[in-house]
Structure formats: C-alpha cells, structure tokens
C-alpha cells in the first residue's frame, strides 16, 4: 500500500494528548496544527529542489530551494482546516483550495457541498488535508474531484487512519501517497475510528 505511517516517539506523545477526551478545544486545535506540520515535513521528503547560489556571511555556496509555486494545499472542511495553519507556516507561498464535505449520518457516505481550487491547480502538486481517514469515502471523493480538474500528483495527509479506509483509498487511487501519523485498529458500528479521538471537527471547533 502507498501509505507511510510516522513512527516517532514525539508523535506518539502528541497523539496521546490529542486523543485524551479530557483535552480541551484550545490544546486540541494546537496539536492538530502541530502534527499537520510534522506530516507536511514528511510529505516533502521527496521534493525536488531548484539549484540556487547564495552567500553566507562566510562564503558563496550552491544549495537548493523548494519551488513553493509548485504546491497547493486542499483541506477537506471542516476538520482539515485545523491542519492548514501548520502546513502553511512551513510552505507559506503554496496556494489553497477548499473541499466541503460531510458524512451522511445514516449512510456514512460523503456529501460534497463546496469545491473551489486555484485556477492553475492542474500544474501543482496537491496536498489534501484531513485529520481523519475512516471509511475512506471522503478521501476517495476528494481525490476524484481533484483528478477531474487535471491534477496529476496528489498526497493525502491524515492524522489517524483506519485500515479499512486505507485499503479502499489505495485500491481506488494507488498513485496517491497517504501519510498518516497513526494507523489505528478498526472502525466501530458508527464508522468511527477505534480507538481514534472522537469527532475531529467537533473537537476542533467546539461544536459538541
Ligand atoms: C470527518 C473527517 C473526514 C471524514 C472521514 O468529517 O474530517 O472528512 O469524516 O470519514 P470517511 O473516511 O468515512 O469519509 P465529518 O463528516 O465529520 O465533517 P466535519 O469535518 O465537517 O465535522
Ligand atoms: N470522522 C471523525 O471525525 N472521526 C472518526 O473517527 C471518523 C470520522
């Protein structure tokens, strides 16, 4: 499977606080942003750099810089918005698109209610943001929408993913790399991730 799981004690530590039901909205939001930043760091591990020459206070040197115009971040609303500040702090010149989606409470199927992306999206590498990948339905639909706009290179960043969803997304879109902080055990009867962290959108925005 085209999936990378961050395996690091610091991530485990941050996730332990994030998952805890006693963690309040402010800290939850800060952690989602912070883990988003770590996921973005991992997503850039294969980035092609353009050659540049700079001058340090000591001497001239040849080095590499990221071409920030090659990237766009696309959070899936609402919860994906929580990761946006983190990733944009490390690649500040990337463009941003938005996909609005919610899961129908009875069928658990995603419903798309908004889609707006930069005009030149097709020539950019697109990094989709959503902290939760559960059944994988939202991820598949979001990737379909972006591919329909001509996007060729897509990565998907999630904080917690369920094995069932990962299987479904990678079968449908094997070219899309999924980078997640943790792969959890399974889904429950309400298609929530177990042990998970509950409803990410509600915990970020304090709506429940
Ligand atoms: C959550 C989450 C994902 C989706 C994952 O959104 O942020 O978008 O569910 O589930 P899936 O993999 O089974 O499709 P939700 O529908 O709760 O909307 P919200 O972010 O607006 O709360
Ligand atoms: N959406 C969430 O916010 N949490 C889950 O566990 C599954 C879907």
Tell me, yes or no, whether 61 lies in a domain.
no
Check pLDDT > 90 for residue 208.
no
- The ligand whose atoms approach the alpha carbon of 137 most closely is 1
Atom of ligand 1 nearest to the CA of 200: 7
Measure 193 CA to ligand 1 centroid, in angstroms.
Answer: 11
pTM: 0.97
Active site residue 202: yes
Look up 120 and say whether it is catalytic. Answer: no
- Give distance in angstroms: CA of 190 to centre of ligand 2: 9
Percent of the chain with pLDDT over 90: 99
Is 78 part of the annotated catalytic residue set? Answer: no
Residue 12: inside a domain: yes
What is the extent of the structural domain holding 14?
A: 3-45+71-205
Paired tokens of 117:
């992306």
Residue 75 forms part of a structural domain: yes
Cα 32 from Cα 36, distance rounded (Å): 6
Catalytically annotated residue among 63, 107, 175, 207: 107
Average pLDDT, the chain: 97
Q: What is the pLDDT of residues 106-139, one digit of tens each?
A: 999 999 999 999 999 999 999 999 999 999 999 9
Domains in the chain, number: 1
Residue nearest (by alpha carbon) to ligand 2 atom 2: 199
pLDDT of residue 77: 98
Alpha-carbon distance 143 to 154, whole Å? Answer: 8
Within a domain: residue 109? yes
Taking residues 66-91, what's their average pLDDT? 97
How far does the centroid of ligand 2 lie from the alpha carbon of residue 82, in Å? 14
pLDDT digits (tens, 9 = 90+) for 153-204: 999 999 999 999 999 999 999 999 999 999 999 999 999 999 999 999 999 9
Is the residue at 56 inside a domain?
no
Beta strands in the chain (DSSP E): 3-5, 49-55, 60-66, 71-77, 95-96, 98-103, 110-116, 125-129, 132-133, 153-161, 177-183, 186-187, 193-194
Nearest ligand to residue 185 Cα: 2
CATH number for the domain spanning 149: value is 3.40.50.2020
* CA 138–ligand 1 middle distance (angstroms): 7
The percent of residues in the chain predicted with pLDDT above 70, rounded, is 100
Q: Work out the pLDDT band at 40, boundaries 50, 70, 90.
A: very high
Tell me whether residue 107 is one of the annotated catalytic residues: yes
């Amino acid at each position: 499977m085209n999936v990378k799981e961050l395996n690091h004690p610091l991530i485990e530590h941050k996730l332990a606080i994030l998952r805890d039901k006693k963690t309040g909205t402010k800290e939850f939001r800060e952690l989602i942003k912070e883990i988003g930043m770590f996921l973005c760091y991992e997503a850039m591990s294969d980035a092609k750099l353009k050659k540049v020459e700079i001058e340090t206070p000591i001497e001239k040197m040849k080095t590499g810089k990221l071409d920030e115009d090659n990237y766009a971040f696309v959070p899936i609303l609402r919860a994906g918005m929580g990761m946006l500040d983190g990733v944009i702090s490390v690649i500040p010149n990337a463009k941003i698109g938005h996909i609005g989606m919610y899961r129908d409470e009875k069928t658990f199927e995603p419903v798309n209610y908004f889609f707006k992306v930069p005009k030149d999206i097709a020539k950019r590498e697109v990094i989709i943001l959503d902290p939760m990948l559960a059944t994988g339905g939202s991820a598949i639909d979001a990737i379909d929408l972006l591919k329909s706009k001509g996007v060729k290179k897509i990565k998907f960043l999630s904080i917690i993913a369920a094995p069932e969803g990962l299987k479904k997304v990678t079968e449908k879109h094997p070219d899309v790399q999924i980078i997640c902080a943790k792969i959890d055990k399974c889904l429950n009867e309400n298609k929530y991730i177990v042990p998970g962290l509950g409803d990410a959108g509600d915990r970020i925005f304090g709506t429940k």
